[in-house]
């Protein structure tokens, strides 16, 4: 049994520390900023692409070598250096302060690992092999991307738009019928075929038949 417990975290405005200034750090910072984190980067140097992300608002750079005092208020910590001693120190310091830490490509120093993630709108599927093989996790993610295509974003947006109306206007037993009809495959198929108006019509027709 894996020791990892899968969760999804709201990173909006969460203070995150990234130690390192290379391409691995760049990818971490890009993802963190995409999810709304407040990122502080500790490194004496940055690759040019990472330097461009520093704005003094959501992304800050402290131009120095890492020291234990740098943990500060970070709730998540990423160590992305190629220096074993630095990675070990970051891991030790983070755990001593009860902060979650990820050391890239070194699961033994991590208190959490980052899964391979596919996203289509509100659909997010995280794939992990427990650190055994990140390559296999990426392969599985690619297979999921083929299975759940671009239509999923539009599909979930449409379903979300009906949630409040169905909840307020339909009794529980009819609500269940509505959602079974909404998710039986036809609506998604129509959206995949770029027939959104017809997909909306299926839901409207079903709703009207139940609200009579």
Angle between helices 151-169 and 196-211 (to 10 degrees): 20
Q: What pLDDT sits at residue 14?
A: 98
Regions in the chain scoring below 70 on pLDDT: 1-2
Q: What pLDDT sits at residue 1?
A: 41
Output the CA angle 88-99-95, nearest 5 degrees.
40
The whole-model pTM stands at: 0.83
Non-local CB neighbours of 18 within 8 Å, separated by 6+ positions: 25, 28, 29, 32, 39, 40, 41, 42, 78, 80
Q: What pLDDT sits at residue 2?
A: 56
Q: What pLDDT sits at residue 3?
A: 78
Q: What pLDDT sits at residue 188?
A: 97
Nearest to 41 by CA among 11, 20, 58: 20
Residue identified by tokens 């992304």 is 59
């Amino acid at each position: 049994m894996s020791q990892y417990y899968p969760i999804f975290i709201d990173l909006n405005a969460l203070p995150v520390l990234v130690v390192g200034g290379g391409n691995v750090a760049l990818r971490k910072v890009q993802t963190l900023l995409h999810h709304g984190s407040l990122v502080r980067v500790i490194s004496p140097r940055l690759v040019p692409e990472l330097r461009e992300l520093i704005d003094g608002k959501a992304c800050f750079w402290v131009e120095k070598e890492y020291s234990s005092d740098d943990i500060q208020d970070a709730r998540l910590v990423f160590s992305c250096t190629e220096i074993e001693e630095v990675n070990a120190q970051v891991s030790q310091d983070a755990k001593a302060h009860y902060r979650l830490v990820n050391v890239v490509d070194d699961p033994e120093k991590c208190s959490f690992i980052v899964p391979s993630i596919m996203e289509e709108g509100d659909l997010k599927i995280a794939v992990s092999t427990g650190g055994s093989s990140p390559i296999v996790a990426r392969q599985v993610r690619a297979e999921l991307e083929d299975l759940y295509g671009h239509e999923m974003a539009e599909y979930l947006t449409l379903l979300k738009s009906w949630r409040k109306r169905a909840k307020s206007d339909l009794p529980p037993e009819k609500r269940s019928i509505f959602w079974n009809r909404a998710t039986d495959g036809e609506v998604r198929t129509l959206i995949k075929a770029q027939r959104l108006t017809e997909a909306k019509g299926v839901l409207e027709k079903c709703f009207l038949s139940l609200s009579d």
